Amino acid sequence: MSIWEALAVFAAGIGAGTINTIVGSGTLFTFPVLLAIGLPPVTANVSNTIGLVTGNISGAIGYRRELRGQGARAVRLGATALAGGLAGAVLLLALPSKAFDAIVPALIGIALVLVVLQPRLAKALARRRERNGTEATAHPDGGPALLVGLLLASAYGGYFGAAQGVLYLSLMGLLLREDLQRINALKNILAVVVNGVAALFFIFAAHVNWTAALLIAAGSTLGGQIGAKVGRRLSPTALRGVIVVVGVVAIVQMVLR
């Protein structure tokens, strides 16, 4: 890896850590860069997952105030996320690499659609809460519907993970009686759990490009703090635009490989 490639990976890690803390989809920053420097798709995904763990932790620490009073809920939802994340990681290595090459462009495309539609979804959720008198559901912890949804979203996160945070925010926004900032804090905890269990599995069972993983780890740790401190001041429209451009580049790269 040349010095310029290393700088590009580090910068992508900063961007990923920042946007993961704010909403998710950071993999759409790092994954295309890892492909561009010549890593095979599965190795790129594995190294990326390991590298982003410290950024997830950094973002969760930055949102620690919003986690107050949610400890028991975080443990319950985290257990579900752990099971789903491990299942997704196992699937990544169990399926042939050609399957990953075929599936990931579709997953990135779905992730981009979710990113673009997020504002409309948020407005729809707000209208729903207004109609229900701010009561999103009769169950304070979302009930079985949230657990099933989180299990599937976490399996997706363990397998690839782009826009995993968007899925979490959508599910919990619909099914929990909490404001968005407290939900975002929970989202960061769940991302730590899923990326953490997948990373541990990959360390012992997969080929890792440690140079790339460590560069992303350093960048995403810095990005996590940036996202927690100043991310709310950034234009959501601008962030979504950058994600879409990077995601399209990733799709084109994988299709043309």
Question: How far is 41 from 240, CA to CA, in rounded Å?
Answer: 24
Question: How far is 123 from 23, CA to CA, in rounded Å?
Answer: 16
> For the whole prediction, is pTM greater than 0.85?
no
Other beta carbons less than 10 A from residue 37's beta carbon: 17
Query: What percent of the chain is modeled with pLDDT above 90?
Result: 45
Q: Which two tokens stand for residue 154?
A: 């976490």
**Residue 178 and residue 68 in contact, taking contact as beta carbons nearer than 8 Å:** no
| Residues with Cβ within 8 Å of residue 234, at least 6 apart in sequence | 22
Question: How far is 122 from 216, CA to CA, in rounded Å?
Answer: 30
pLDDT digits (tens, 9 = 90+) for 154-168: 998 899 877 788 788
Reported as a pLDDT band with limits 50, 70 and 90, residue 239 is: low
Question: How far is 130 from 122, CA to CA, in rounded Å?
Answer: 12
pLDDT digits (tens, 9 = 90+) for 134-156: 554 445 566 788 899 899 989 98
Question: What pLDDT is stored for residue 13 in this prediction?
Answer: 96
Position 119, amino acid: P
Would the pLDDT of 54 be above 90? yes
Reported as a pLDDT band with limits 50, 70 and 90, residue 77 is: very high
Q: Which two tokens stand for residue 137?
A: 């559901």
